[in-house]
């Protein structure tokens, strides 16, 4: 990782195309689009793709297109799903840079100028991200902090993602060089939940990666109707989909990294996460059931050496103690749980401040 201060203006206005897929998010659409068209130091073009919404999304989009010349609407007669909608929009852009922004999210003020400035000055960088602020009602404006740039070679960044075990990028905070996106390809329909993760890894196979530090780059809305809370709401579905994304990307990274070592890293992280989740459920008083059994089987199937992990030893101990009084939980289990919690906090802090 290399950290540097931002360079001065390049003297040009980068052109950014923003694809806004929308399905029944009419109530959020205006905030989303206005967060794009108000971005300084760039020119923008917004393509709203309404995937046959049953609410007022199309009407809101038409009103926005009448208000802002750079906004246009594409309307599906039939619902095609989010992956097909993403790919339709991304495959047609011809701008300098491109953003895929869900209609329920927003860009932070100045985000596009900061990201495109980095890519203008460091041509080998094809993907830039930053910190996404999560919110439920309204985002909280944060005063401009001291901004720096971090850059990694693509393969260095990919190795860090395998060590992390989950995506460092949620999605709304990412900006991609359009030529790199076209070269890398588009979203894989077989990965409806972890396609973003696989996409970032695919891009890192052909380009370097950068991060804007010290400023929020996007606002990520948390609500009960998002796909995160509906179609792919369970922890184990999330872990399983991530494993598939990592497996898919290994073939692309194989010429530049030690595939066996990366796969081993991924296997250990995923099996540890599954075992830790079971431990957390048991520590909260949940009785052993089919879902916990399935998670345990997944961890063992994925990693035959899972018994060497601290989380697995805790899992076996807690399972054996099912039915005991709460004070029957051993000191060793408590120590392991504390260690897991500290490790999780350390991973969060590293992601929050370093981006990996």
Q: What is the 3-state secondary structure (H, E, C) of the chain?
A: CEEECCCCCCCCCCEEEEEEEECCCHHHHHHHHHHHHCCCCCEEEEEEEECCCCCCHHHHHHHHHHHCCCEEEEECCCCCCHHHHHHHHHHCCCCCEEEECCCCCEECCCHHHHHHHHHHHCCCEEEEEEEEEEECCCCCCCCCCCCEEEEECHHHHHHHHHHHCCCCCCCCCCEEEHHHHHHHCCCCCCCCCCHHHHHHHHHHCCCEEEEEEEEEEEEEECCCCCHHHCCCCCHHHHHHHHHHHHHHHHHHHCCCCCHHHHHHHHHHHHHHHHHHHHHHHHHCCCCCCHHHHHHHHHHHHHCCCHHHCHHHHHHHHHHHCCCCCHHHCCHHHHHHHHHHHHHHHHHHHHHHHHCC
Residue 228 above 80 pLDDT?
Answer: no
Q: What is the mean pLDDT of residues 111-128?
A: 97
- Topology of domain 15-235, CATH: Spore Coat Polysaccharide Biosynthesis Protein SpsA; Chain A (3.90.550)
Least confident of 2-6, 22-26, 123-127, 274-278: 2-6
pLDDT above 70 (res 183): yes
Q: What is the pTM of this model?
A: 0.92
Domain spans, the chain: 15-235, 258-354
Give the pLDDT confidence of 32-67 residue by residue, as tens digits.
999 999 999 999 999 999 999 999 999 999 999 999
Confidence of residue 325 (pLDDT cuts 50, 70, 90): very low
pLDDT digits (tens, 9 = 90+) for 14-40: 999 999 999 999 999 999 999 999 999
Tens of pLDDT, residue by residue over 71-115, are 999 999 999 999 999 999 999 999 999 999 999 999 999 999 999
Q: What is the pLDDT of residue 341?
A: 86
pLDDT: which is higher, 228 or 245: 245
pLDDT of residue 327: 44
């Amino acid at each position: 990782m290399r950290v540097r201060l931002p360079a001065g203006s390049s003297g040009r206005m980068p052109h950014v195309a923003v694809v806004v897929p929308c399905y029944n998010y009419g109530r959020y659409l205006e905030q989303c689009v206005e967060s794009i068209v108000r971005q300084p130091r760039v020119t923008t073009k917004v393509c709203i793709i309404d995937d046959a919404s049953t609410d007022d999304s199309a009407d809101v989009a038409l009103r926005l297109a009448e208000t802002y010349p750079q906004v246009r609407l594409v309307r599906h007669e039939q619902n095609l799903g989010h992956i097909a909608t993403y790919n339709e929009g991304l495959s047609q852009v011809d701008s300098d840079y491109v953003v895929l922004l869900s209609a329920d999210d927003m860009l932070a003020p100045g985000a596009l100028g900061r990201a495109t400035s980095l890519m203008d000055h460091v041509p080998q960088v094809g993907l830039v991200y930053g910190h996404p602020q999560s919110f439920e009602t309204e985002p909280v404006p944060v005063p401009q902090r001291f901004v720096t740039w971090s850059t990694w070679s693509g393969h260095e960044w990919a190795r860090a993602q395998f060590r992390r075990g989950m995506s460092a990028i949620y999605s709304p905070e990412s900006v991609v060089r359009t030529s790199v996106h076209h070269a890398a390809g588009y979203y894989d329909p077989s990965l409806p939940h972890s396609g973003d993760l696989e996409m970032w890894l695919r891009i890192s196979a052909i380009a370097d990666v950068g991060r804007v530090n010290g400023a929020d780059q996007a606002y990520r809305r948390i609500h009960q109707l998002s796909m995160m809370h509906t179609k792919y709401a369970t922890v184990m579905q999330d872990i399983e989909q991530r494993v598939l994304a990592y497996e898919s990307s290994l073939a692309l990274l194989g010429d530049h990294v030690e595939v066996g070592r990366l796969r081993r890293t991924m296997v250990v992280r995923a099996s540890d996460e599954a075992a830790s989740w079971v431990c957390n459920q048991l520590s909260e008083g949940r009785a052993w059931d089919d879902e916990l059994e399935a998670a345990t089987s997944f961890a063992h199937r994925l990693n035959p050496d899972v018994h060497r992990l601290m989380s697995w030893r805790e899992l076996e101990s807690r399972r054996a103690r099912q039915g005991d009084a709460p004070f029957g939980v051993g000191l060793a289990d408590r120590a392991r749980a504390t260690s897991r919690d500290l490790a999780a906090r350390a991973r969060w802090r590293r992601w929050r401040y370093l981006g990996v």
